[in-house]
Amino acid sequence: MGKLLVSACLLGDPVRYDGRSKVFENTELQKLINHNRVIAFCPEVAGGLPVPRDAAEIQQGDGVAVIDRLARVTTTGGDDVTDDFLRGAQQALELCQQHQIWVAVLTEFSPSCGSSQIYDGSFSRASLRGVGVTTALLQRHGITVFNQHQISAAINSLVGGN
């Protein structure tokens, strides 16, 4: 069985924009952690953003549009952090390729990690259907991305794929 890439915040690392984690406990995931089959990663921190940091959202699109340079990622303070998000996404891809990872569990609604829903860019907590920047890049390279509510499906995919 292969390894699983998991958002570091889901594993208790305080790397979210607000300096907190978003722990999502799951016994199946814990078994993989105990067998060194999980790699924790935060693309925003890897891309150079500090903790804590201003919240960021994708403007006028989703992660696919950012990868294609048709949309930008900005913070509540108006800073353009697109390049940081792209750098982090690239590092996630390189990590997956290095460890032959083909399945990831990333944090829903995140502008980096959302796998089906992200915030709409208005900073009002309104969401839209779409993916984050890291998810878009991983998917473009054949890596299947699940969210924290789909851990069992991710593990089943991992077991079935290896």
For the chain, which residues make up each domain, given as ranges? 4-161
Q: What is the DSSP string of 115-127?
A: SSEEE-SSSSS-E
- Rg (the chain; Cα; Å): 15
- As a whole number of angstroms, the distance between CA 90 and CA 123 comes to 25
**pLDDT tens digits, one per residue of 120-156:** 999 999 999 999 999 999 999 999 999 999 999 999 9
- As a whole number of angstroms, the distance between CA 47 and CA 84 comes to 5
Mean pLDDT of the chain: 95
- As a whole number of angstroms, the distance between CA 73 and CA 49 comes to 13
Helix axes 27-34, 151-161, angle to 10 degrees: 50
**pLDDT tens digits, one per residue of 15-41:** 999 999 998 888 999 999 999 999 999
